[in-house]
Structure 1
């Protein structure tokens, strides 16, 4: 099991979305903060300025990628001095999977590709919580070719959608998110330069243990068996795992089992006994008690209260 893919699949809710916008100077747009969401912006043509809620403006150029993991607000404009208009997007409004739009005056053109993802706020993974408010990936010749290729394919499909465009765009948006996270955690070809969960995924021993837990959460893992997979002594493994992951090994195992259970309850109609079995509980009673301690409600009530959510426009 690929841990990064598993984390994204477990935390994302509903479909992502994207919009290709052609701006003409003068223009300025404020994008409000939306907690529980993550969004991106890519500069496809021209240049513009990022005006964050805090900090100095940043000039952006063709190929620059911005990622807002926690849904913080910001503004984009053709210059640092241009007045910005507020967005009229409602957080819970029905939106299309992808669209094209134009705005602004009649001056120089800037084209952006923006998109958003809705994340589960109740069981946010520490990998995502470790990320900064803003990830800025400047365009540099020869760097992150896979990310650039995904951007080019997504922009082309939105500009000229063909048969099966919904499937293509949805898949490319998921791919883009993974490439953004890869690029952030991979500097000069070597991961773990940003610490925290990036370091955990780069550490061969800890990564092997995480892959085992994610690949088979129902297995009766112990610190000893996970330490064997990591090639470390029990004490050294437990210490390093807690340092990088932020929880002791069995604490993370329990947390991931119950997070996986929540996802299964939300997305499937499998009986509670089946959900319990798939996440490593020998009885429905033991599972229900553990789930209620973690989530505050019984699993049946959690399933009834969980309803489909519409992804919000984060751009």
Structure 2
């Protein structure tokens, strides 16, 4: 009797690492906020995401999408993942003032709120993060509007120091400072996402799939070899479950079927290559698992709304317009 051919196990791959690479996270200069007595500030919506850590004292944070304001104490942090306004305050009964004029007065480096002759009730350090054009759909939309990171969480104690280092690198502009700030921003983001994934799942999405023992195996397989001719059967064999079990579990946890996810990830890889390389569309199509340029172009337009060539031209035009002159 001949033995069945074993399933090739894909090489190790980390989906979160790969998504973070495509998200192109960048850190901007950090700033400090010192509150005296009772105060309340409305801060503008960040372009990408906003991170804050409480150094001393306590305050509350409130923004759209929260069931109730979150109380922050020394050592606590939060990540705002949406481009929306938020309020920091000692009490929601305090008169809310716009924060932008206070920060503009110091060039954006610091601000003081409340009656300055009263004791300090809270001091925070914060930083803003910008991302590449696909980051919101790839990563940020998979997160809740605000992630609270308590002081006792793993890695939380280092976050204020990381923000301070980001600020110093951004101010001094030393050798390779942009590389340093980029990597520090990724460390911050990873610590927050790790903590979020260790909490009770709140919604379906690929991030929740990383915490599922069955789905995570299939996700790692897809990311390790996205160009492979995967079927639900092959992915189920890698995960050591039945085809029906994988299909149902993947759909329940991620919110879409495994082959739908595979298609979307291939197109994300293709979109990145279109903007980051000069490879031909045919070469990109082959690299991400499509048998022809026409098949890739059809799927790309169906999912992203424009043909690959138009996507490349529009992205480069946008990059050129955003480049410093």
Larger Rg: 2
Note closer, same or farther for the CA distance 1:56–1:249 as it changes in structure 2 (3 Å cut): closer
1:129-166 per-position Cα deviation (integer Å, ceiling 9, x unaligned): 343222222223xx31x232243233245258674443
Compute the displacement of 1:211 (Å).
1.0
Structure 1, unpaired ranges of 5+: 90-95, 311-315
Q: 1:154 aligns with which of 163, 185, 193?
A: 163
SS at match of 1:277: helix
Note closer, same or farther for the CA distance 1:58–1:251 as it changes in structure 2 (3 Å cut): closer
Give the aligned partner of residue 5 of structure 2: none
SS at match of 1:202: coil
Matched, 1:15 2:30: no
1:75-114 per-position Cα deviation (integer Å, ceiling 9, x unaligned): 112443332222449xxxxxx9xx7323335233333222
Alignment of 1:213-224 (within 5 A): 213-224=222-233
Asked if the contact 1:43–1:112 (Cα under 8 Å) also holds between the matched residues in 2, the reply is yes
Structure 2, unpaired ranges of 5+: 1-12, 102-106
Asked if the contact 1:154–1:169 (Cα under 8 Å) also holds between the matched residues in 2, the reply is no
Asked if the contact 1:257–1:279 (Cα under 8 Å) also holds between the matched residues in 2, the reply is yes
2:60 and 2:297 map into 1 onto residues whose CA distance is 51
Choose 226-235 or 65-74, whichever is displaced more.
Answer: 65-74
Note closer, same or farther for the CA distance 1:185–1:265 as it changes in structure 2 (3 Å cut): same
Matched, 1:84 2:92: no
SS at match of 2:214: helix
Aligned length: 294
Matched, 1:173 2:185: yes
1:280 and 1:240 map into 2 onto residues whose CA distance is 24
Asked if the contact 1:20–1:159 (Cα under 8 Å) also holds between the matched residues in 2, the reply is no
Compute the displacement of 1:225 (Å).
1.1
Asked if the contact 2:30–2:163 (Cα under 8 Å) also holds between the matched residues in 1, the reply is no
Aligned alpha-carbon RMSD (Å): 3.0
1:298 and 1:159 map into 2 onto residues whose CA distance is 42
Alignment of 1:88-167 (within 5 A): 88=100, 100-104=109-113, 105-106=115-116, 107-109=118-120, 110-119=122-131, 124-125=136-137, 128-140=140-152, 143-144=153-154, 146-156=155-165, 158=167, 163-164=174-175, 165-167=177-179
Q: 2:52 aligns with which of 38, 41, 56?
A: 41
1:265 and 1:21 map into 2 onto residues whose CA distance is 39
Asked if the contact 1:277–1:283 (Cα under 8 Å) also holds between the matched residues in 2, the reply is yes
Matched, 1:262 2:271: yes
Give the aligned partner of residue 300 of structure 2: 291
